[in-house]
Amino acid sequence: MSRKPLISDLYEKYLDDQDTAGLISKVSRHYTSGTLQRLAGHDDCKVRRAAVLALGFVGDYSENHTLGRALLDDDRTVRTLAENAIRSIWTRAGSEDQRQLLSAIIRLNTAGQHEEAIRQATELIEQAPWFAEAWHQRAVAHANLCCFSESIRDCHQTLEINPYHFVAAAGMGKSYLKLDNHVSALQSFRRALRLNPNLEGIRAQVVRLAKMVEDNK
């Protein structure tokens, strides 16, 4: 019988003590990013859970593909951990200054200061046009200002750069709904669900919209 990887024990200990700093320290000491990515595809679901959790704490945008695949895992806990992890690593692209600017943009959106968020997001996009989350945060700000066509364009660009960005796909669907474009909303929501089957609210929207589109044929 093969011995389970050490990360399984670290994960069990973390579940008991919730010591995030301790887990990060031990994982960083014993595992490389490449090894964690490989363990995210392990046969044992507990090993996959541990690896995905660890990637969310210590990984960066280079883990996007691995965590995107983990969103489709057979194990619901792996999928839930992957959703939290991938949202975290989306903010970890670019230089330290660019990450700090993104954090400021997110705070502006959270505080409802959407016009300033758009200004700063545009500045970040000009610096780093490959930074998907900068486009997404500008899309969020546009949607909150009821500029739905602009939000849709930024969501499209987000998904061009980061094809795993289920949040952008869902946001695009919501903007299409505001524009009464039910067919495009349905397509966007279905795309979000293909990326992340855990989106139960979006699933309900798909059922409702599919019936509406069918009835209007």
Query: Does residue 66 share a domain with residue 20?
Result: yes
CATH number of domain containing 78: 1.25.10
Residue 147 included in any domain: yes
Cα distances (angstroms) measured from residue 85 to each of 46, 125, 209: 16, 23, 30
Task: Spell out, as residue ranges, where the chain has pLDDT lower than 50.
Answer: 1
Query: Does residue 170 share a domain with residue 71?
Result: no
| 141: helix, strand or coil | helix
Q: List Cβ neighbours of 50 (8 Å cut-off, separation of 6 or more).
A: 5, 7, 8, 10, 11, 39
Residue 26 included in any domain: yes
Q: What is the pLDDT of residue 214?
A: 80
Tens of pLDDT along 91-112? 999 999 999 999 999 999 999 9
Q: What is the pLDDT of residue 1?
A: 46
Q: Determine the structural domain holding residue 11 and report its residue range.
A: 6-89
Radius of gyration of the chain (CA): 19
CATH number of domain containing 194: 1.25.40.10
Query: Does residue 84 share a domain with residue 61?
Result: yes
Q: What is the pLDDT of residue 2?
A: 59
Number of folded domains that form the chain = 2
Query: Does residue 42 share a domain with residue 124?
Result: no
- The answer to whether the Cα torsion of 156, 157, 160, 166 is positive or negative is negative
Tens of pLDDT along 75-90? 999 999 999 999 999 9
| 91: helix, strand or coil | coil
Query: Does residue 75 share a domain with residue 49?
Result: yes
* Helical spans, DSSP H, in the chain: 6-17, 20-30, 33-39, 45-58, 64-70, 76-89, 96-110, 114-127, 132-144, 148-161, 166-178, 182-195, 200-215
Query: Does residue 84 share a domain with residue 112?
Result: no
pTM of the model: 0.93
